[in-house]
Structure 1
Amino acid sequence: MAIEPLLGTTAQRAYFGTVVLQAIVVLTMVGVTFGMVADGVELSESLKYKTLPCYLALFALAEIFEVLMVFDALRLRNIIQLFGITAFHMALMVMAAVQIEQTRTALVWRTAARCAVDFNPIQCDGPGTLFHRVRPFLIVVPCIIGASLVVLGYYLKVLYGEFGWVIFHVVGANPRMKTMYQYYQIMICLLKFDFFFFAAVTMQLLILVLQEDSAEFGITVTAIPIVLILLILCGWALQREVKWIMSISLVLMLASLSYFIYKLVRFYQPQNDATYATTRASLTIFTIVAFLLLFSTFIVGLRCYSDFDKGLAASKIHSAPTRPALKTKESSKLNETEGVPLGPRISIE
């Protein structure tokens, strides 16, 4: 049985199209919100106002990342990565919902009692205020993401049927090999999400919190390419089964967990209340998710390391073809004589 071409089925096109359309709508809503706020206030006037450009940058990064991840998953016929994207999509919905209150914290400075006496459309809440005008656009974002999640869930089920047999094409019918290959796919998927959440935490710190002349700012900027290189090397070592590079990667992962713990403690120290007032919720969510992902990557990495030199290397390097194979008369005769099963698709359960 030949593998369907990239975007060659209705389910693939619908899944990818839904993600692209959702990204366009969400970025439009976020862009409109940012434009309205930028027209109403001077963003450099206060640290609180920096929440909005960070919100825009974060969602732009997330939406572009999701589109690329979906295209990559469809190209590789990786159903495990599609499940990871679904979880990522749910996290985006939660983040969008949290951002509504964070935006209110950034824009609404005055209490209701003070606004009743001295009304200010920029710093108060209620009809006629800046926050009242941008709130509908903020509310639309989690609604759109939630609606697209339903569509993606339906087509994920269809794609599970389409892609479920590809792992059989790669490693054969051996259950032990199939399990090892599944862990390999999970590890590769986790490495991609690791980089996004690390970049998201770092971006929020650079835009909102850290001063450009501080030592921590320079260290954070330097860490971005270093982490990217380490993750790429880890993926390469995982595919090629290079034990010494994989060992170093696992040790660095374990050491990096302490960084996220350190940051979580700083977010909630009393002396940092003012610094993290408008960003504490989103930074906490992203830092905890990054910590859990990195810890999961370390655990799965140990399992994958234990599978080195057990016959899976060739299957990792030579993945399933992404275009339909041409069926010649010779190949048909070969299949008939060798008894190659061309029957029903096999699930990766």
Structure 2
Amino acid sequence: PKKPPPGGHTVTVSFPHHSHNLSSVTEPLGKIPSHGSRASLLGGSFDPAFRRRTGGFRAREGYSNVAPAAHTPRMYVPNTHWTWSFAIVTLIQTIVTLGLECYIFANFQIQELPNDSPASKTIPTFLALYGFGFLYELVLVYDALRMKNTIQIIGLCICNVGLLIYGAVQVNQIRDAVSTLAYMHMIDPIVWVQSEPFLIIIPCIVALGTFLMVFVAYKLYDEFAWTIYKHISADLQMKRRYLTYQIYIALLKFDFFFFLGFTVQFLVLVSSLKMDTEFALTVAAIPVTIIILVCGAWFVRRETTTGMIIIILLFFAAMAYFCFKLFRMYSPETYSWYLPARPSMTFFAIITIVLIVITIINACICVHNFNRGLKPHINRKKNKEAEKTNTELTSNLTQVPSRMMID
């Protein structure tokens, strides 16, 4: 060993070298000067044999360094090939369809003479409602991709089929409206000749978009299935409960669109000429319906049985309302009021009734699944906030050292 400088002594430790010779080797680490040495007053001199060991407490104990969490964007952005494909298909379909609808609407408005005929409101209402349907579908696409909701993806494909049917229905209704206005000399019949090709192209584009959406949805099903497996685990019963919950939430979103579509047509095409009590009640029903749908989603997330029972009863009342409207549309006393929009309103009323029935069934199943362990899985945001409060020490203590260090 190296001799210590005057006035001090050397402290030696033994540690194993990573070599074939596992014998202990004594090496000087540093000088500890004595109190009697004048050099100690100046701090002593540096010993070149001193070796500082790399790493700190975490390295000596065998814990691996945990990198800080990557910054996640506040707004969701598709991050896989198939999520981008689904978003792009629906976006292109919406842009092309809205462009054609805007041309038809502008051509109609330019050539129509001012009048108060119900037929003059038919074309703007149909085109505006159809355009809103595609925009609302685009919002649901973003929401489904963000939540990785396979059920909502499938529902969007079915909804696109509904928009395809509605696009085919509006061709005949717009033709009848133009014929009525032309008979009244309020519009040039050439408008129909100019608009008919575009009205036929729109269902063809929607049909192509539906085919592509179904194909991409099949790919997304496999992609999102792994996410659901990681989120819910392999418990088959829990996966079924979570599936029922997803169906229920998706149905609420589609209920809103079809109820709103029926109500707008009723207000614009039927009740606009007679401001009676029914008109006021229909207007008041719009915000009430939104509140009911929001509460329906909130109660199922909180597993509030009483609230869900009230929501189910309100769904029965809504179903009775649409059945009543459907009866009045074909009743001999009142059918003439609904003639300008009876085919499209019938389409919306039937789909809404079917959706309400399915929603009631799923709501009952969701109530049956209350207090069975699903609530922590659907309230993920709170769980994530709790995870953020964990300190570095608590997260590190859960790790097992990769090797045992003996100093």
Equivalent residues of 1:7, 1:74 under 8 A apart: yes
Structure 2 equivalent of residue 64 of structure 1: 135
Kept in 2, the 8 Å contact 1:122–1:131? The answer is no
User: CA–CA distance in 2 between the matches of 1:331 and 1:17?
Assistant: 44
SS in structure 2 at match of 1:308: coil
Alignment counterpart, residue 93 of structure 1, candidates 147, 158, 164: 164
Kindly indicate whether residue 201 of structure 2 is the aligned counterpart of residue 134 of structure 1. Answer: no
Per-residue CA deviation, residues 233-261 of structure 1 (Å, 9 max, x unaligned), is 11000011011111100111112111011
Provide the alpha-carbon RMSD of the alignment.
2.9
- Residue in structure 2 matched with residue 341 of structure 1 by the alignment: none
- Which of 331, 334, 337 lines up with 1:272 in the alignment? 334
Structure 1 segment 108-187 matched on structure 2, within 5 A: 108-109=179-180, 122=187, 124=189, 129-187=190-248
- Alpha carbons 1:16, 1:71 under 8 Å: kept: yes
More strand per residue: 1 or 2? Answer: 2
Which residue pairs with 1:195 in the alignment?
Answer: 256
Decide which moves more: 264-273 or 244-253. Answer: 264-273
Q: 1:89 to 1:43 in 2, by over 3 A?
A: farther
Instruction: State the Cα distance separating 1:123 from its structure 2 match.
Output: 6.3
Give 2:346's aligned amino acid: T
Identity of aligned residues (%): 32
Counterpart among 346, 366, 370 of residue 308 in structure 1: 370
Query: Given that residues 44 and 50 in structure 1 are in contact (C-alpha distance below 8 angstroms), is that contact kept between their aligned partners in structure 2?
Result: no
Q: Residue 112 of structure 2 contacts residue 186 of structure 2 at CA under 8 Å; is this kept in 1?
A: no
Q: CA deviation at 1:176?
A: 0.6
Residue of structure 1 in register with 2:82 after alignment: 11
Contact 1:109 1:123 in 2 (8 A): no
Find the residue that maps to 1:210 and give its secondary structure: helix
Please list the CA deviations of residues 91-127 of structure 1 after superposition, one character each: whole Å capped at 9, or x if unmatched. 000000010000011111399xxx9xxx979465xxx
* Deviation readout 1:52-88 (Å, 9 max, x if unpaired): 1101220122011100100000000001100000000
Structure 2 CA distance for aligned equivalents of residues 43 and 147 of structure 1: 37
**Alpha-carbon offset, residue 333 of structure 1:** 6.2
Q: Supply the distance in 2 between the matched residues of 1:108 and 1:219 (Cα, whole angstroms).
A: 33
C-alpha distance in 2 between matches for 1:312 and 1:36: 54
Local SS of the residue matching 2:295: helix
Residues 249 and 297 in structure 2, CA contact (< 8 A), matched pair in contact too:
yes
Could you state the TM-score of these two structures normalised by the residue count of structure 2? Answer: 0.73
Amino acid at match of 1:249: I
Looking at structure 2, the residues matched to 92 and 206 of structure 1 have their Cα atoms a distance apart, in angstroms, of 21
Pairing 1:19-34 to 2, within 5 Å after superposition: 19-34=90-105
> In structure 2, what residue type is equivalent to 1:206?
L
* Superposition deviation, residue 179 in structure 1: 0.5
Deviation of residue 270 (structure 1)? 2.4
The Cα shift of 1:213 comes to 2.2
Q: 1:110 to 1:166 in 2, by over 3 A?
A: closer
Q: Secondary structure at the match of 1:98?
A: helix
2:229 alignment partner AA: F
**In 2, are the aligned partners of 1:43 and 1:50 still within 8 Å (CA)?**
no
CA contact (8 A) 1:184 1:304 kept: yes
Deviation at 1:269, TM superposition (A): 1.8
Which fold has the larger relative contact order, with Cα–Cα distance below 8 Å and residues 6 or more apart in sequence?
1
Residue 236 (1) aligns with residue 307 (2)? no
Which structure has greater helix proportion? 1
TM-score (norm 1): 0.85
- Structure 1: tracts of 5 or more residues without a match: 322-327, 337-349
Structure 2 stretches of 5 or more lacking a match? 1-75, 385-391, 403-407
The one-letter code of the counterpart of 2:198 is: F
Deviation (angstroms), 1:207: 1.1
Alignment of 1:239-250 (within 5 A): 239-250=301-312
Separation in 1 of the partners of 2:277 and 2:328?
16
SS at match of 1:178: helix
Distance 1:331 1:52, change over 3 A: farther
Partner in structure 1 of residue 150 of structure 2: 79
